[in-house]
């Protein structure tokens, strides 16, 4: 796992092919062994179904129809609120765009402070070398009260690992 000093050196090295943009405040986003990622403006919100609805993986066409019927894409401005109610699910992206060189992989995960509130932040946790893009975050409120999230707030973190032969 890379230390704060190691990924800071890589970010400053113009030849490293390692980038995280935008980084507003390295003093608050850089941990000793990870970088905090913020909630981006793009969300896919799943509305509650009424009646009998079930996703059947054997019927791909019906799943696609149900997803279009029950999911809504929303783009929110920086700093705006988003309420995730108990039992609700949303898909979000990080504000940060990552670019990894061939020598680095990453592991994205939720920040533990959110878990204590009942927010589960699942991701496809492993980030391959040479990945370029934002990280997808699956958000589920397993708690008993609504959770207020703001576009731009620190929500997840990524730890980087050197890839060796």
The answer on pLDDT for 11 being more than 70 is yes
The CATH class that applies to domain 4-162 reads mainly beta
DSSP state for residue 145 in the 8-state scheme:
S
The answer to whether residue 138 is catalytic is yes
Query: In the prediction, which pLDDT does 37 show?
Result: 93
What are 94-130's pLDDT values in tens digits? 999 999 999 899 999 988 888 889 999 987 788 999 9
Contacts of residue 126, Cβ cutoff 8 Å, sequence gap at least 6: 105, 106, 107
Q: What is the pTM of this model?
A: 0.83
Share of the chain above pLDDT 90, in %: 44
Task: Give the SS3 label for residue 43.
Answer: strand
Q: Count H helices, E strands: the chain?
A: 4, 13
Least confident segment among 14-23, 79-88, 141-150 = 14-23
Q: Residue 56: is its pLDDT beyond 70?
A: no
Q: Of the listed 68, 96, 138, 162, which one is catalytic?
A: 138
Mean pLDDT of 61-73: 70
Least confident of 31-40, 42-51, 129-138: 42-51
Residue 13 backbone dihedrals phi, psi, to 5 degrees: -85, 110
Q: What are the structure tokens assigned to 52, written together?
A: 């009998």
117 CB-side CA count, 13 A: 19
Residues in CB range of 73: below 8 A, 6 or more apart: 42, 43, 44
């Amino acid at each position: 796992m890379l230390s704060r000093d190691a990924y800071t050196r890589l970010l400053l090295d113009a030849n490293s092919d390692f980038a995280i943009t935008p980084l507003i405040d390295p003093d608050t986003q850089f941990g000793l062994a990870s970088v905090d990622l913020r909630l981006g403006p793009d969300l896919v919100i799943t509305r509650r179904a009424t009646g009998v609805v079930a996703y059947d993986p054997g019927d791909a066409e019906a799943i696609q129809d149900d997803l279009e019927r029950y999911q809504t894409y929303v783009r929110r401005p920086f700093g705006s609120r988003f309420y995730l109610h108990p039992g609700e699910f949303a898909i979000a992206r990080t504000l940060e765009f990552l670019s990894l060189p061939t020598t680095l992989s990453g592991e994205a995960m939720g920040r533990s402070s959110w878990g204590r509130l009942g927010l589960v932040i699942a991701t496809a946790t492993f980030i391959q070398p040479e990945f370029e893009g934002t990280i997808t975050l699956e958000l589920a409120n397993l708690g008993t009260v609504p959770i207020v999230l703001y576009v731009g707030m620190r929500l997840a973190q990524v730890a980087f690992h050197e890839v060796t032969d």
